[in-house]
Structure 1
């Protein structure tokens, strides 16, 4: 495994992290604690130390699985990132909660679910610029940092917004990391977000690095996703366009004999702004495959 410093946090994070939206039950599979433990054990064995979750991946369900694991392991071995701003109400349904008092409750609920006394990276989760510009919210979060409940703050940019304002203003609210959708099929962050992150010395977590699995190389243009899978909600024309683009990338860009998913993760990590990628996983085999991307020559360790 290779490691990089996450912005100005001083934390050395593995270039391959572990995304855990799937543990909340919205990706076509329900998990058990035994399955989650096995995947996290394998991740730790392979040098992965970064777990990314959220309050609304299930009703703190993903966090509860992670907490069940952390309660029986060395907490200091892991960098835990979670988020705030929403409450799970059902499959792909969320209630917006941005008042300072609501977020404080979410924070305490997350700490209980994670069975930990502190969160390493607490991230504003896909809110609007208006919701972001809330002095009472950030003042409350600063007090929680002083109290030791939060070590560092971050901003997870909404996939539906530009993110320029929040990235530019991150330092003003003491946020030190940006999470953004970035992959070979979605390069928009290269235009403004990633250059701003370099300018402001912000760490970058690239989420959806496999483009919701399209860049795994497993799906053909006629692929069908079952009920309960997030991808089943993607518009048919968009899904087909994505799959055709993937086929072209596989033919023209991925070196012969190289696993496409590993190539796609390493491709993200080539950008000088990107600190870590946080792909999801449904089994131990995917954890192993994802971690192997760190071994590719195109991935550099920048902790030195």
Structure 2
């Protein structure tokens, strides 16, 4: 495994992290504690030290599974990142909930679920600018930093062209930007990444495998189960077809012979100088192993 300093945070993160939206039950699998433990344990064995989760991956469900693992492991070996700003209602349904009082409660609920006294990175979760521009919210979060419950603040921008929130990160005391970035979606390169580099912000690239399409295992006509977010809507069918056409072109023209496409795709993200770590979802220990091998291509 390789490691990079996450911008100005002082956190030394593995270039491959573990995204855990799948633990919340919206990716076609319901996880037991043992199954979640197996994924996280294999990650640790391979040198991964970054876990990314959120309050609304299930109703703190992903956090609880991570907390069950951390209870039996060494908490200090992990950089735990979670998010705030939504209330889980049911699969694929949330409410925005971003008042200072609501977020403070979310933080306490997240700490309880994670079975920890602090989070290494607490991230504003893809909310609109009207919620972002709330001095009372950021004042409350700064007080939680002073209390030792948060080490660093970040912004998970909802649109990967959101230069407004990115440019204001330093003013609001945030040190990290999380953004969608992959070979099929390069929009952050235009404005977001230059802003991050100017501010010396850490950058976490989410959806680096384009929701699995850059894994190379899907073909046209693929059908996802109803409890998988990729099955949602007729527009998704057309978009999947377009993406899979592009994936085939990339496979033929850009991926070196003998290199698994998923490993190439993760390494591709990490070659951008603004990106410090990628956080692909991992359903199984075997997927963790494949993701970790991408570090060897750097």
TM (normalized to structure 2)? 0.98
Match of 1:36 in 2: 36
Could you tell me how far 1:178 is from its partner in structure 2? 0.2
Residues 186-225 of structure 1 mapped to structure 2, 5 A cutoff: 186-225=185-224
Return 5+ residue gaps in structure 2 as ranges: none
Report the equivalent of 2:238.
237
Residue 286 of structure 1 aligns with which residue?
A: 287
Q: What runs of 5+ residues in structure 1 fail to find an aligned partner? A: 300-304
* Number of the residue aligned with 2:296: 295
Which residue of structure 1 aligns with residue 171 of structure 2? Answer: 172
- CA deviation string 1:214-256 (max 9, x = no partner): 0000001221112111111152111100010000000000001
Displacement of 1:162 in angstroms is 2.8
CA distance in 1, matches of 2:216, 2:118: 38
Secondary structure of residue in 2 paired with 1:59 = coil
Q: Which residue of 2 aligns with 1:253?
A: 254
1:141 alignment partner in structure 2: 141
> Secondary structure at the residue paired with 1:175?
coil
**Take 1:96 and 1:233, find their aligned partners in 2: how far apart are those partners?**
20
Q: Say what the alpha-carbon RMSD is for the aligned residues.
A: 0.8
1:20 maps to which residue? 20
- 1:191 Cα deviation from its structure 2 partner: 0.6
Residues 169-222 of structure 1: per-residue CA shift (max 9 Å, x gap): 000111000000000000000010011100110000000000000000000122
What's the counterpart of residue 302 of structure 1?
none
1:180 counterpart SS class: strand
| TM-score, normalising length: structure 1 | 0.96
Q: Distance in 1 between matches of 2:119 and 2:224?
A: 34
Q: Hey, what's the Cα distance between the residues in 2 that align with 1:174 and 1:7?
A: 13
Q: Determine the C-alpha separation between the residues in 2 that align with 1:224 and 1:68.
A: 32
Aligned to 2:89: 89
User: Which residue of 1 is the match for residue 162 of structure 2?
Assistant: 163
2:48 aligned counterpart, secondary structure: coil
